[in-house]
Structure 1
Amino acid sequence: MSPFAGLLRELTASNESLCIWRKVVFDRIFTTLAFLCIPVYFTSVYLCIVQGLWPMAIFNTVVYATLLLIIYKNNLANRLRFIIGCLLAYMIGTGFLLAIGPSGAGFFWLFLFPPLTGVLLGRNASYWAQILNAMSLVIVGICGHYNWLPWPSIEGYNSIIWAVVCINFVAANAILTLSVSYLLEKLFSSLQSTLTSRRATVIGLAKLAEYRDNETGAHLLRMQHYAALLASQRGLDKDAPNELTGSFVEEITLSAVLHDIGKVGIADAILLKPGRLTPEEFENIKAHPVIGAEVLDSLIEFAPQCSFIKMGRDIAGGHHEKWDGSGYPKGLKGLEIPLSARIVALVDVYDALTSPRCYKKPFSHFEAVRVIVAGKGKHFDPRLVESFMSVHEQFQQLSLSSLDDDPAYTNVPCLQAVEPSAQKVS
């Protein structure tokens, strides 16, 4: 299987969507927890210091610092973030049990551990969380029975009561965790179906323009991969725009294919002309961003919350705008151009340059890079050009893999008849 075919398989998978959904849940839970624990943290540390329980005070400080770290450290991998978050619940629960005995607080946090693990890491991980809970309770019970722990004396409490409590705890926890996992699987199945329908709808819209423009499906795939790659790289910068989130990357991966949807309104005689356009024809084809934006804007009336169609509208209407304001159709300048349109503008030019057409030979990757660098601050957002230069070799790999896989590009008989400098509006 070629690298491009492998990327196609990754693109159609919904793991990214699931991870983003889990990240939203994680942020909601742990951000709220961090806020609510502010008075709890200071109170507990103060009481521990007064009672001379320095190890517990240090433990509380480490736990709260870790909580803040996994919330606010941006470059932390999401799965690692989820694992640490789940283990925090386990550590807090076992910490309470070891320090002060069979307390409600200790059992509460341990009870939370498996369901939380199921939500953030999946059903299989929740099984291991339940096993870890059960083993920990057995070990803590043994240590308590032999007075190896500094537990306060509780009249009438013995190992039999501990065993009964733990058995009921494990059984109730297993029921809740399995129920949560089952419901989440159903929810995820529904989410997958929705995402698949959404992708099918967008690809269907994009193919309306593709079929009329002698493009291939590989062009749409390249646009998706290029846009996702450039957006992801820009998102790693310290000055990355606030809107450049994981959801943004997912949406632009889908919506990038809608950039030329407006070509459905351009006459075939102009759209399929195998050569340079006359000034009049060029003015006519320049209407396709307006047409595309209007088509998608009409869809938004029926689905006002559909963010990927809104982004598609911005891309369709703005991917021919230029950073210096010399583009069309509105002559937008700089940050007036939507970020999604600025990203697609760059990757669309790269694909147009490096792909063979009946009216031109393909530029080499390095020739295309020179064109893009020359357009920094003129045609393209300067920061996006810098991000592009950080990953341009990956662009080259995707381009070569795609063209090798695409039979439509293996034999283009008219390439020798047209000068490579002859370029048509993409």
Structure 2
Amino acid sequence: MILDKNLSVIHTTPKTHQLFSDYYRITERPFFNIFLNTLELKEMQDFLVALKSFERGYTWSGTLRHKTPTTKTLYTHTIISPLFSASGSLAGYQVFFEDISHDHFKQLQSTFKSILEAAKLKDNDTGMHDERVGYYCRKMAEYLYAIKKYPQIDPDFIDNIGFLACMHDVGKIGTPDYILQKPGKLNEQEWEIMREHTINGTFILSSYPIPMAKEIALSHHEWWNGNGYPFKLDGEMIPLSARIVTIADVYDALRMKRTYKNECTHEETVAKILEGKGTQFDPNLVDVFTRIHQDFDDIWLLLRDNGNPGAVMRDRSPEYGSLIQ
């Protein structure tokens, strides 16, 4: 990409057009427009100072993010260097982009996957519960995105909840083993300790750069009517991501056979979630669940813990993609 000395785009290569394919026209526009939704004021100031500074060689390098409502966030390692005229005066800039989105998220998630695996060692009776919850949540988010129900649900939201929903119980790494592995029901004192996993999880995920991580860990046991924990939030005070996880978590917990309970059938589980509409669960999300509940059963059958999935994928929802992406 070539910029004039006023930082307007005057030339792009086919590869650059492909990289920013969602941005229908990038020539003859200010370079900043491409990153307008993601650059913070401090970043922009540093950017301008570097490119206008002789001492800094009219050069800037770093990571830039590009985001539109219909695309995933694009991370690029970017180098901007000066172009000079024959007389030696500054004539413009050349820009080199390297797409590092995949590596960025892979590195970010790898650390937290290690924490998740450590937490699962503590509560080894849950099998693939966390993974299934992630897939349920992704499925519901894909459907909500397809019907344009919530403006905040975009491709990033779908990817984030698919991963971060798996981390909802990571705070149990701080819960004593005798509580996690108790074969019978917990007494009130033990329940008080168990409830602390929401606070612990928020602390563990405090360094994750996406707020959704902490929202899910903290609020996935809040109830729509305010009778949940840890803070008795109600209604839309509960983050949307956590309200989605609540349904997914309860669905899977009911389907599972544990040392202290028998498993429920899919039909029994759907009935119980309908019973919780407007009390435990967001009624609008329950309505969505009733449209896609069979996909939840497909995920359960595919990823159940008996080592013999045996589920045939049934394409009931072609409008928002295949079951496992």
TM-score normalized with structure 1 length: 0.50
- The one of 260, 264, 267 equivalent to 1:359 is 260
Counterpart amino acid of residue 322 in structure 1: W
What residue in structure 2 maps to residue 395 of structure 1? 296
Deviations 1:307-332 (A, max 9, x none): 2xx21111000000011111000000
Whether the 8 Å contact between 1:202 and 1:255 is mirrored in structure 2 is no
The answer as to 2:31 corresponding to 1:28 is no
- The one of 86, 93, 102 equivalent to 1:192 is 102
What residue in structure 1 maps to residue 173 of structure 2? 264
Cα gap change, 1:333 to 1:32, in 2 (>3 Å): farther
- Counting matched residue pairs gives 233
More strand by share: 2
- The one of 112, 118, 124 equivalent to 1:208 is 118
Deviations 1:177-236 (A, max 9, x none): xxx9xx77xx34x43223222232222121222111114552222111111001111223
- The one of 198, 212, 229 equivalent to 1:289 is 198
Equivalences for 1:14-53 in 2 at 5 Å?
25-30=20-25
Percent identity between matched residues is: 35
CA distance in 2, matches of 1:404, 1:202: 23
CA distance in 2, matches of 1:290, 1:28: 41
What residue in structure 1 maps to residue 187 of structure 2? 278
Whether the 8 Å contact between 1:235 and 1:244 is mirrored in structure 2 is yes
Task: Extract unaligned runs of 5+ from structure 2.
Answer: 1-16, 30-67, 75-94, 310-325
Equivalences for 1:338-417 in 2 at 5 Å?
338-403=239-304, 406=307
Cα gap change, 1:282 to 1:25, in 2 (>3 Å): same
CA distance in 2, matches of 1:227, 1:348: 9
CA distance in 2, matches of 1:276, 1:386: 31
Deviations 1:35-82 (A, max 9, x none): xxxxxxxxxxxxxxxxxxxxxxxxxxxxxxxxxxxx99x8xxx8xxxx
Task: Extract unaligned runs of 5+ from structure 1.
Answer: 1-21, 35-70, 79-118, 120-179, 301-305, 409-426
What is the CA-CA distance between 1:397 and the residue it aligns to? 1.0
More helix by share: 1
Whether the 8 Å contact between 2:246 and 2:281 is mirrored in structure 1 is yes
What is the CA-CA distance between 1:244 and the residue it aligns to? 0.7
- The one of 294, 316, 336 equivalent to 2:237 is 336
Counterpart amino acid of residue 222 in structure 1: R
What residue in structure 2 maps to residue 313 of structure 1? 214
Equivalences for 1:99-118 in 2 at 5 Å?
none
Counterpart amino acid of residue 214 in structure 1: N
> Root-mean-square deviation (CA), in Å?
3.0
CA distance in 2, matches of 1:25, 1:387: 33
CA distance in 1, matches of 2:160, 2:215: 12
CA distance in 2, matches of 1:334, 1:237: 21
Bigger drift between 25-34 and 327-336 goes to: 25-34
What residue in structure 2 maps to residue 110 of structure 1? none
CA distance in 1, matches of 2:151, 2:19: 16
CA distance in 1, matches of 2:28, 2:134: 37
Cα gap change, 1:320 to 1:231, in 2 (>3 Å): same
Whether the 8 Å contact between 1:311 and 1:340 is mirrored in structure 2 is yes
CA distance in 1, matches of 2:121, 2:21: 43
CA distance in 1, matches of 2:157, 2:163: 10
Whether the 8 Å contact between 1:234 and 1:384 is mirrored in structure 2 is no
Whether the 8 Å contact between 1:286 and 1:329 is mirrored in structure 2 is yes
CA distance in 1, matches of 2:240, 2:170: 19
Cα gap change, 1:194 to 1:334, in 2 (>3 Å): same
Counterpart amino acid of residue 23 in structure 2: R
What is the CA-CA distance between 1:30 and the residue it aligns to? 4.7
Cα gap change, 1:388 to 1:290, in 2 (>3 Å): same
TM-score normalized with structure 2 length: 0.65
CA distance in 1, matches of 2:270, 2:136: 14
